[in-house]
Chain A
Amino acid sequence: MGKLEILNLNQSFLRDDGTRLAVLENISLEVHDEEFVCILGSSGCGKTTLLRLIAGLDTAGSGRVILDGEEIRGTSPKVGMVFQEYSLFPWRSVIDNIAFGLEMRGTAKDERYRIAERYLDLVNLSQFRDSYPSELSGGMRQRVAVARALALDPVLLLMDEPFGALDAQTRNMLQQELLDIWEATKKTIVFITHSVDEAVYLSDRIVVLTPRPGRICRIFPVNLPRPRDRTSPEFAQVRREVLDLINQNCATQ
């Protein structure tokens, strides 16, 4: 299971001059089990803030986040996260990075390497088992980060622009790999991006946020069959619809 409910979430930050800056306003959203949802919005619209609240890294000003009927009040092994920046521990080898969560959980050494190797295999990096993150390319590092997040077998995987820093080709390749992993593992995925192309390629539904403060402008279902072809007229059509929506209704308020 991995059913996520977000109810009336509000978040604001205290500015230096003492006034409050609203970052998220009245976010309510339901993400079904095994659904792939992209949250799309421009920089500074509160996407990352929203994801951090779902992750339990921050506490909301008001509102609730509920996963499988249980309210999220802090980080939980049921929720995995892949960060935008490189977050692998540089002092640990690839396999020890993936096994980190299992080590924290107290899994015995043999068992945790066995599990970690399975996820290493899932992201096709078996030959880099004992390498250090500094020896890997950006794309490989993010694949390891995905494996590390999956190793604890979370029901919900959160991804904060994980491919944002990669070149276009690597990015397209990793998007496909991610969909394969999603098919294989049946996780619920909430994926943040500012790329319309990425959102249309990946998601079942696209949640478009308005900038400052972030509100849900529209929830846009993507009904294209998978595997999707970026160059097809249908794909272009959906992308145009989303872009028009952003430009006409969700740009500034």
Chain B
Amino acid sequence: MSIIKRRGHSIREHWLGVLAILVALIVWECYAAFIIRNSFLLPGPGDVFLAFLSLAEKGILLTDFEVSMTHFAIGLLFALLIGIPVGIAMGWNRRADEFFNPLIEILRPIPPLAWIPFAIIWFGFTPVSAGFVIFMGAVFPILINTYAGFQGVSRIFVEAGRMLGCTRTLDQIRFIAFPAALPSVVSGIRIATGVGWMCLVAAELFGVSNNGLGKDLWFYYDLHQMDCVVVYMLILGLIGLVIDMIFRYYIERHFLKWRTGEVA
């Protein structure tokens, strides 16, 4: 597995990737400085770095980060609270599956951003409103993966459990189906964090708060300070990457030891 092989990182192993980033920075700087020569159309890496320093000095970035994380946390929390129980019910019980499935199939393809008008009408210009848009993006990956995970629980595990006294439905879910489905549930949450994060900029666009990474990205666009816009773009990308890496690390640590070489 490539994930295992990639352990033990070092600059030496990754020099090609580092080289690519350096080359991109140099090409970017040269292109901006000698060809475009207009920091509004394309700010160079140097401009961006200076913009970052001035924004950091103002202390605004930390506030933006906190506000955005609040929006993100609200959305993700409700996505977990609804996605996991509904996914469990559907994956475990055929009636629940038949009941929820058509409804979900209709709602799921609606782009999360299409919910923005109702987010405003229902929740006003509040953090909950932004959270709602993120929720609409995050809930379906969690729900679908939980559902698939529970459907895929091998019958033999449930029967082995029954022979060992695990006969009540709640116990079967808690002690057998949930741990068996957990890798799938967690990878659903990982996908959901990615989708939710992508909804963040748009969710903050319509003015639910005075700060936020997405909100201030638009703010500086309005001021035509494109170097600051790039700072926010890079920060958004970086945080998204960190969130994903945390999950990848968690999945590797907790599931690889029993999932590799599992006989289905």
B162 touches A57 (CB 8 A): yes
Contact of B175 among A57, A74, A104, A134 (CB under 8 A): A104
A81 touches B166 (CB 8 A): no
User: In whole angstroms, what is the CA distance A151 to B254 when docked?
Assistant: 27
A134 touches B156 (CB 8 A): no
Residues in A with CB closer than 8 Å to B166 are 100, 104
A90 touches B259 (CB 8 A): yes
If over half of B's interface residues share one DSSP class (helix, strand or loop), that class is named, otherwise mixed; here it is helix
B167 touches A89 (CB 8 A): no
B257 interfacial by beta-carbon distance below 8 Å: yes
Contact of A89 among B159, B179, B263 (CB under 8 A): B179
Residues in B with CB closer than 8 Å to A103 are 175
Per-position 1/0 for A139-180, Cβ under 8 A of B: 000000000110010000000000000000000000000000
B2 interfacial by beta-carbon distance below 8 Å: no
**How many residues of chain A are within 8 Å of chain B by beta carbon?**
29
Residues in A with CB closer than 8 Å to B123 are none
A75 touches B156 (CB 8 A): no
Q: A134-B258, A134-B260 are in contact. Are A87 and B167 (CB under 8 A)?
A: no
Residues in B with CB closer than 8 Å to A134 are 257-263
A148 touches B162 (CB 8 A): no
Min CB distance, A190 to chain B, in Å?
14
A101 interfacial by beta-carbon distance below 8 Å: yes
Min CB distance, B232 to chain A, in Å?
41
List 3 A-B pairs, minimum CB-CB distance, nearest first.
A101-B164, A104-B165, A87-B160
Residue positions of B touching A, CB distance < 8 A: 156-157, 159-167, 171, 175-176, 179-180, 182, 257-263
Q: What are 27 A-B interface contacts by the 8 Å CB criterion? A: A57-B159, A57-B162, A57-B163, A75-B163, A77-B165, A79-B163, A81-B163, A83-B160, A85-B156, A85-B263, A86-B263, A87-B160, A90-B262, A91-B180, A100-B164, A100-B166, A100-B175, A103-B175, A104-B164, A104-B165, A132-B257, A134-B258, A134-B262, A134-B263, A135-B261, A148-B164, A149-B164
